Amino acid sequence: MKAIVIQTNQPGQPLAWQETAAPNYGADEVLVDIYTTALNRADLSQRAGHYPPPPGASTILGLEMAGKITAVGAQVSGWRVGDRVCGLLAGGGYAEQINLSQQLLIPMPNHWSYEQAAAMPEVFLTAYVNLFMEANLQVGETVLIHGGAGGVGTAAIQLAREAGCRVFVTVGTADKAARCLELGAELAVNYKEQDFVAAISEHVGSPQAVDVILDMVGADYLPRNLSLLKLRGRIVFIATMGGGKVEIDIRQLMGRRLRLIGSVLRSRSLEEKITIKENFMRQFWPKLVDGVIHPIIDVVYPIEQANEAHQHMADNRNIGKIILRVREG
């Protein structure tokens, strides 16, 4: 089969679409012909050598896919060759085929395109586990989502909105702010033009304005994030784009009983991922099928243009997901 291979011996470590070994599938796994996959920030980090795949995972980039089952293992039940599916991966999405546990498969709604399906698993499950399982977001609470116009951000806005929460976001352009407001954010702050702490505090009428913060910036934002949290507020860290080390006053955490939560999805065990998927499906899958919430797609590139797709993400131009089309369907 063909897959994207990182050319580690060349400047910039370019991506090449070339022949590589096909995956094997186990007794409780299926083999899927991939039609589409999608970009995540983790792909850029792995390409740069900063985010190696977990032990045993494919070294090929790609944390989600949509496609059609082409073979099933001897112990697989409930799935058959020809079923259209999507799913969360630990790696291997930038390829023509992938092997996947039957328990991680998600059926594609009949009216969905492969592009829509590939835009869903990683960002919606990331948003779900961190807002609802890690931070225990409750009806009526207020959540601040940094990077609101990205893949995780656009998913998190919709999930929090449907859960009956107030949603604030930070973004970098007016277009991104407008899109977040359309998706259900109550307030979108352009961090390049305004201090988000002052803007949110003024909007709420209190310096301590939010219950939960979904943060991908890290060190650069932590002091300001802490100042915004209400009593028993929670911050969930899902990336450290602004650095990983910072000094804090622990007494501030103690006085307001604040919680700082670190979280990853890719390296979790299969059992954890199955639980996350099943909880998400129970709570939000009907809303996805009905179109009440939906994946946001920015642009679709053919897989041969993976380098251009990565640059599009590196330039922070996307609103929602960047899709790679592996085959027509």
Token pair for 137: 């977001």
> DSSP letter string over 225-240?
HHHHEEEEEEEEE---
For residue range 141-160, what is the model confidence (pLDDT) as tens digits?
999 999 999 999 999 999 99
Amino acid 147: pLDDT: 97
In angstroms, the CA 181 to CA 145 distance is 12
What residues contact residue 329 under an 8 Å CB cut-off, 6+ apart? 35, 68, 114
Hey, where are the domains in the chain? 2-120+295-325, 123-262
For residue range 68-96, what is the model confidence (pLDDT) as tens digits?
999 999 999 999 999 999 999 999 999 99
Class of CATH domain 2-120+295-325: alpha beta
- Which of 261, 267, 292 shows the shortest CA–CA distance to 133? 261
Residue 2 Cα distances to 21, 68, 98, 199, 303, angstroms: 8, 17, 11, 49, 10
For residue range 198-208, what is the model confidence (pLDDT) as tens digits?
999 999 999 99
If one looks up domain 123-262 in CATH, what number appears?
3.40.50.720
**Burial of 245: CB neighbours in 10 Å, binned 0-12, 13-18, 19+:** exposed
Global pTM value: 0.96
Placement of tokens 């999930």 in the chain: 159
Asked whether residue 12 carries a pLDDT value surpassing 90, the answer given is no
For residue range 155-191, what is the model confidence (pLDDT) as tens digits?
999 999 999 999 999 999 999 999 999 999 999 999 9
Token pair for 241: 């784009």
Amino acid 164: pLDDT: 98
Amino acid 229: pLDDT: 98
Q: Which residues sit opposite 283 in a β-bridge?
A: none
Asked whether residue 209 carries a pLDDT value surpassing 90, the answer given is yes
Q: Could you tell me the pLDDT band of residue 281, with boundaries at 50, 70 and 90?
A: very high
Percent of the chain residues past pLDDT 90, beyond the cut: 95
Q: Which 3 state secondary structure label does DSSP give 131? A: helix
Token pair for 244: 């990983």
Amino acid 327: pLDDT: 97
Token pair for 294: 């939906």
What is the residue-averaged pLDDT of the chain?
97
Amino acid 329: pLDDT: 84
Per-residue burial over 124-152, b if 16 or more Cβ lie within 10 Å, else e, is bbbbbbbbbbbbebeeebbbbbbbbbbbb
For residue range 52-64, what is the model confidence (pLDDT) as tens digits?
999 999 999 999 9
